[in-house]
Amino acid sequence: MIKGISLLKNSEYRKKILESLSNANYLTPSEISENTKIRLNHVSNFLKDLKDNKLIICLNEGEKRGRLYQITDLGKRVIKENGKN
C-alpha cells in the first residue's frame, strides 16, 4: 500500500492513469491516452509500473493489440488513500 501511494505521489501521470481506470471497468492503452491526454508511449511505460506494483492487471496479457487493463482492489485503496492527502 505504501509503495503504491509513493508511486502516485511521485508521478502525476501514474495518478491520472490510475484514476482513469478507477472510473471504468476496463480500458485499452489508447483509451487511457485519450482520457488522460498523456502520449500513448508514456501510458504504456506507466502501465507497466502500475502492473508491476499490483495496482492494475491486464485482462488479456497474451494479446499484442487491444490489451485491456483493470484497476485492482489495492489500486482502488491507493486512490482512495491518496485522495485524503
In order of their start, the domains of the chain are 2-84 (1.10.10.10)
pLDDT tens profile 2-12: 889 898 989 99
Structural contact between residues 40 and 29, judged by C-beta atoms closer than 8 angstroms: yes
Largest CA distance in the chain: 37
What is the CA 11 to chain-centroid distance, rounded? 12
Structural contact between residues 77 and 84, judged by C-beta atoms closer than 8 angstroms: no
At residue 85 the predicted structure's pLDDT band, cuts being 50, 70 and 90, is low
pTM (2 decimals)? 0.91
At residue 1 the predicted structure's pLDDT band, cuts being 50, 70 and 90, is confident
Candidates 25, 27, 45; CA nearest to 35 is 27
Kindly report the CA angle at 82 between 79 and 85, in degrees rounded to 5? Answer: 155
pLDDT tens profile 17-47: 999 999 999 999 999 999 999 999 999 999 9
